[in-house]
């Protein structure tokens, strides 16, 4: 335990935690996007998918237990990811108490420079997203029907500012995914120059696909494609 604790307290250990939890989070984000894409198949397919989420693992697991296991693992991954990122940032600040006067922002990149703010935006959006479409709280002037997630999604996105919140959050998610994947590969030891090209292509493609497909949902509703 002493070795594990010492490793976690080190910068390398925190980067490793961020990489491992990042893999889980990225996998969940991709699966979430694929599942939500069933919106384009219509209400029946989407509602069946939502119902499957609550029955996965049956009959071995009771109703919704499998979903809650995934939720708990996701919450734990996000918690350790944010904790490691925060502590690593504080360590970096302590090691460099005076910021550089001329920082090379071209090299750092927009995604890297906005990583912390992007994380805050995404966290706030997740809370709003759950309140709006999972818990049915009145955070948007749209009707909520228990057991009809397709209606709830479409009714919510028919309100322009709800769609705007969703679009802005997913733009932030795209930048976060791009830089996060790049940093994750480096943390896993894939930081040799020969890997840079395919790392850039993969991170770019993953971020664009996730953000693009997610953004397409509110746009499709606003355009009347989904109704």
3-state per-residue secondary structure call for 188-203: CCCCCHHHHHHHHHHH
Tell me the torsion sign for CA atoms 100, 106, 111, 114.
Answer: positive
Residue 189 clears pLDDT 70, i.e. is over it = no
Tell me the torsion sign for CA atoms 18, 20, 130, 225.
Answer: positive
What does the alpha-carbon distance between residue 219 and residue 207 come to, in Å, rounded to a whole number? 18
CATH of domain 2-222: 1.20.1300
Do residues 190 and 182 make contact, with C-beta atoms less than 8 angstroms apart? no
Residue 102 clears pLDDT 80, i.e. is over it = no
Output the six-digit token pair for 26: 């990225």
Residue 150 clears pLDDT 90, i.e. is over it = yes
- Residue 18 CB-density burial (10 A; 0-12 exposed, 13-18 middle, 19+ buried): buried
Q: What pLDDT score does 125 carry?
A: 77
Helix (H, G, I), strand (E, B) or coil at 60: coil
Residue 116 clears pLDDT 70, i.e. is over it = no
Do residues 20 and 79 make contact, with C-beta atoms less than 8 angstroms apart? no
Q: What pLDDT score does 103 carry?
A: 45
Spell out the domain ranges in the chain. 2-222
What does the alpha-carbon distance between residue 72 and residue 222 come to, in Å, rounded to a whole number? 33
Q: Does 213 or 107 have the greater pLDDT score? A: 213
Name the percent of the chain lying above pLDDT 70.
83
Tens of pLDDT, residue by residue over 44-64, are: 999 999 999 989 988 899 988
Q: What pLDDT score does 56 carry?
A: 92
pTM of the model: 0.81
């Amino acid at each position: 335990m002493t070795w594990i604790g010492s490793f976690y307290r080190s910068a390398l250990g925190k980067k490793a935690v961020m990489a491992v939890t990042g893999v889980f989070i990225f996998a969940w984000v991709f699966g979430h996007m694929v599942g939500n894409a069933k919106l384009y198949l219509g209400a029946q397919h989407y509602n069946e998918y939502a119902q499957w989420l609550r029955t996965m693992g049956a009959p071995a697991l009771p109703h919704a237990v499998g979903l809650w296991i995934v939720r708990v693992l996701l919450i734990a991954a996000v918690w350790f990811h944010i904790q490691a990122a925060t502590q690593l940032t504080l360590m970096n600040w302590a090691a460099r108490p005076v910021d550089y006067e001329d920082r090379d922002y071209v090299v750092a990149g927009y995604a890297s420079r906005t990583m912390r703010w992007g994380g805050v935006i995404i966290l706030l959006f997740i809370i709003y997203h759950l309140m709006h479409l999972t818990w049915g709280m009145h955070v948007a002037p749209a009707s909520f029907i228990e057991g009809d997630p397709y209606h709830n999604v479409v009714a919510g996105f028919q309100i322009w500012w709800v769609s705007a919140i969703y679009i802005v959050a997913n733009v932030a998610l795209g930048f976060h995914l791009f830089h996060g994947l790049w940093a994750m590969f480096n943390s896993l030891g894939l930081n040799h120059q020969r890997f840079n090209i395919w790392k850039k292509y993969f991170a770019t493609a993953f971020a664009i696909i996730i953000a693009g497909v997610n953004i397409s949902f509110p746009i499709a509703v606003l355009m009347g494609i989904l109704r």
